[in-house]
Amino acid sequence: MENRIELVLDDITRVRADAIVNAANSTLLGGGGVDGAIHRAAGPQLLEACRKVGPCPAGEARITPGFKLQAAYVIHAVGPVWKGGHLGEPGLLSSCYTHCLRLATEHECRSVAFPNISTGVYGYPKQDAAVIAICEVRKYLALHPLPDKVIFVCFDPENLAIYRGLLGI
**For the domain 2-167, what is the CATH superfamily, name and number?**
Leucine Aminopeptidase, subunit E, domain 1 (3.40.220.10)
Q: What is the pTM of this model?
A: 0.97
**What is the structure's pLDDT at 1?**
61
Domain boundaries, the chain: 2-167
| β-strands 5-9, 111-114 pairing | unpaired
- Residue among 10, 11, 35, 128 flagged as catalytic: 35
Calculate mean pLDDT across residues 125-135: 98
**pLDDT, averaged across the chain:** 97
123 pLDDT higher than 70: yes
Percentage of the chain exceeding pLDDT 90 = 96
**What is the structure's pLDDT at 35?**
95
Q: How many beta carbons lie within 10 A of that of residue 51, not counting itself?
A: 13
Q: What gap in Å lies between CA 72 and CA 104, rounded to an integer? A: 11
163 pLDDT higher than 80: yes
**What is the structure's pLDDT at 2?**
73
Please confirm, yes or no, whether 35 is among the known catalytic residues.
yes
**What is the structure's pLDDT at 32?**
87
Q: What gap in Å lies between CA 41 and CA 60, rounded to an integer? A: 23
How wide is the angle at C-alpha 148 spanned by C-alphas 13 and 32, nearest 5°?
Answer: 20
31 pLDDT higher than 90: no
Calculate mean pLDDT across residues 95-108: 98
